[in-house]
């Protein structure tokens, strides 16, 4: 039996919140459970599993693409900057949640040397252009492909975000529902050279 | 001054609620699932199939194997897909649903079909809900949906289950 199945069965077997009054001392236990659940959420309990092939502490694979503004996008050209490389897609709801923060960070930390780069894993560039305008993205976005996905260890679930230091080495990767606070703290740390 | 007696259980519930409200306020939108008929959560539990179960089914000899249809991103399908599966269009797009309809047009309504996507966390997937509804509306009665909690990479490829690439 896998973990998901176990969790489902456990959920079915557990008494509902309405059952607390039926037993003495049950309410404090129920309250404690709520508090523990809250603590788990606060600690980022919904973070997804990492990619099968971790690239952390490895040199960021180089690539050159043409961005949506028809400009050359060469990762190597950003050496000396901290790069946040974001794989996303228009159909990916968690991606869309993150992007306003990325826009704000580009504006806030750009002068300190941050460069955000978006790689869309959409099939249709027209949808990407539309969202690019709607969200007023202030960083370059290029269309991804299988080759680029392979370079980054297989982008088989979105969003996927990499933090690359000023020397071109990947220092962190985040997959799935990300803790934006954690990403920002690591970003600040890389910008300040700690 | 008159104090109103407040029982300990009430205080505990109140405190717990306040903590939960505080935590939720710290993480807006991050945990908001898609809701409604388009959500993967709208698919009945009885119609879900777990990865291990599907692997056993695919490894078994005999004729009970399902038709596997990927209803998410074509690019992600090209990167990796479950061995033997067919790309049937993104369920969140009208053109994708048309492709799905064409894919199953010649099949018996009793055909055992398993849909999967794995583009993003289960409760965020925009493709499975509409694709499942489409097959139901077309009269298919033996449709299951593969439950991938996080995505195809984490819950299938990383587990060492069978995959192949396009081309």
At A8-42, the pLDDT tens digits run 223 223 333 333 323 333 444 445 444 444 443 33
Give the strand pairing for B67-70 and B86-87. parallel
- CATH number (domain holding residue B132): 3.40.250.10
Give chain A positions within 8 Å (CB) of B12. Answer: 27-28, 31
Residue B93, preceding bond cis, omega within 30 degrees?
A: no
How far from B55 is each of B99, B141, B143, B154, B157, CA to CA, in Å?
Answer: 26, 22, 17, 15, 12
pLDDT at A51: 44
Give the strand pairing for A160-164 and A170-175. antiparallel
Residue B152 lies in a domain: yes
Going through B13-139 in order, the beta strands assigned E by DSSP cover 48-49, 67-70, 81-82, 86-87, 113-116
Among the partner residues B20, B90, B93, nearest to A38 by beta-carbon distance = B20
What distance in Å separates the CA atoms of residue A48 and residue A173, rounded to the nearest whole number? 11
Q: Helix and strand tally (H, E) in chain A?
A: 6, 7
Please give the residue range of the domain that contains residue B70.
40-164
Task: Quote the mean pLDDT of chain B.
Answer: 84
Domain count, chain B: 1
Count of other CB atoms within 10 angstroms of residue A147: 9
Q: State whether A27 and B12 contact (CB < 8 Å).
A: yes
Residue B15 lies in a domain: no
Partner B, chain A 29-58, Cβ-Cβ below 8 Å: 30-31, 34-35, 37-38, 41-42, 46, 48-52
Give chain A positions within 8 Å (CB) of B15. Answer: 31, 35
Q: Does B48 touch chain A (CB under 8 A)?
A: no
Tell me which of A164-168, A176-180, B54-58, B148-152 is least confident. Answer: A176-180
- The distance between the two most distant Cα atoms of chain B, rounded to a whole number of Å, is 81
Q: What chain A residue is nearest to B26 in terms of C-alpha separation?
A: A42
> Cα torsion for A14, A17, A22, A26, to the nearest 10°?
80
Higher pLDDT, A59 or A1: A59
Q: State whether A42 and B23 contact (CB < 8 Å).
A: yes
How far from B31 is each of A58, A93, A143, CA to CA, in Å?
Answer: 31, 11, 27
Residue B25 lies in a domain: no
Domains and CATH numbers, chain A: 3-42 (no CATH), 64-191 (3.40.30.10)
Structure tokens at B1: 């001054």
Q: Does B76 touch chain A (CB under 8 A)?
A: yes
What distance in Å separates the CA atoms of residue B129 and residue A69, rounded to the nearest whole number? 34
Assess contact for A63 and A164: CB atoms under 8 A. no
At B120-167, the pLDDT tens digits run 999 999 999 999 999 999 999 999 999 999 999 999 999 999 999 986
Q: State whether B79 and A157 contact (CB < 8 Å).
A: no
- Report the SS3 class of residue A127: helix
Nearest in space to A80 (alpha carbons), one of A15, A149, A163, A164: A164
At A68-125, the pLDDT tens digits run 999 999 999 999 999 999 999 998 989 999 999 999 999 999 999 999 999 999 999 9
Residue B146 lies in a domain: yes
Q: Which residues of B67-78 are buried (b: 16+ CB within 10 A; e: fewer)?
A: bbbbbbbbbbbb
Stretch B31-44: mean pLDDT: 69
Q: State whether B154 and A175 contact (CB < 8 Å).
A: yes
Q: What percent of chain B has pLDDT over 90?
A: 70
Q: Is the predicted pLDDT of residue B12 greater than 70, yes or no?
A: no
Residue B102 lies in a domain: yes
Q: State whether B75 and A146 contact (CB < 8 Å).
A: yes
Residue B113 lies in a domain: yes
Q: Is the predicted pLDDT of residue A3 greater than 80, yes or no?
A: no
Assess contact for A20 and A26: CB atoms under 8 A. yes
């Amino acid at each position: 039996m896998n973990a998901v199945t176990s969790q489902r069965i456990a959920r079915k077997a557990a008494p509902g919140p309405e059952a607390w009054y039926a037993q003495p001392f049950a309410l404090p236990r129920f309250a404690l459970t709520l508090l523990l659940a809250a603590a788990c959420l606060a600690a980022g309990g919904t973070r997804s599993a990492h990619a099968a092939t971790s690239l952390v502490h490895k040199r960021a694979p180089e690539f050159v693409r043409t961005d949506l503004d028809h400009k050359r996008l060469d990762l190597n050209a950003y050496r000396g900057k901290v790069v946040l490389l974001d794989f996303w897609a228009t159909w990916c709801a968690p991606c869309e949640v993150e992007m306003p923060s990325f826009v704000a960070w580009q504006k806030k930390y750009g002068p300190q040397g941050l460069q955000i780069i978006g790689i869309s894993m959409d099939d249709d560039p027209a949808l990407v252009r539309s969202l690019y305008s709607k969200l007023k993205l202030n960083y370059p976005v290029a269309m991804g492909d299988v080759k680029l996905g392979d370079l980054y260890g297989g982008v088989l679930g979105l969003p996927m975000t990499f933090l690359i230091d000023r020397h071109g080495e990947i220092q962190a990767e985040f997959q799935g529902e990300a803790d934006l606070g954690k990403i920002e703290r690591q970003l600040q740390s890389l910008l300040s050279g700690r | 001054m008159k104090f109103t007696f407040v029982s300990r259980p009430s205080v505990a519930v109140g405190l717990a609620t306040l903590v939960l409200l505080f935590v939720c306020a710290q993480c807006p939108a991050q945990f908001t699932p898609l809701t409604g008929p388009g959500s993967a959560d709208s698919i009945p539990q009885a119609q879900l199939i777990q990865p291990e179960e599907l692997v056993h089914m695919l490894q078994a000899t005999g004729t009970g194997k399902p038709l596997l249809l990927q209803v998410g991103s074509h690019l992600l399908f090209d990167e990796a897909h479950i061995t033997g599966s067919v790309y049937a269009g993104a369920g969140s797009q009208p053109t994708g649903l048309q492709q799905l309809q064409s894919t199953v047009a010649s099949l018996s309504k009793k055909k055992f079909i398993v849909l999967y996507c794995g583009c993003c966390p289960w409760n965020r997937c925009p493709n499975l809900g509409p694709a499942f509804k489409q097959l139901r509306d077309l009269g298919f009665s033996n449709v299951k949906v593969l439950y991938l909690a996080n995505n195809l990479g984490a819950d299938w490829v990383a587990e060492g289950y069978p995959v192949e690439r396009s081309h």
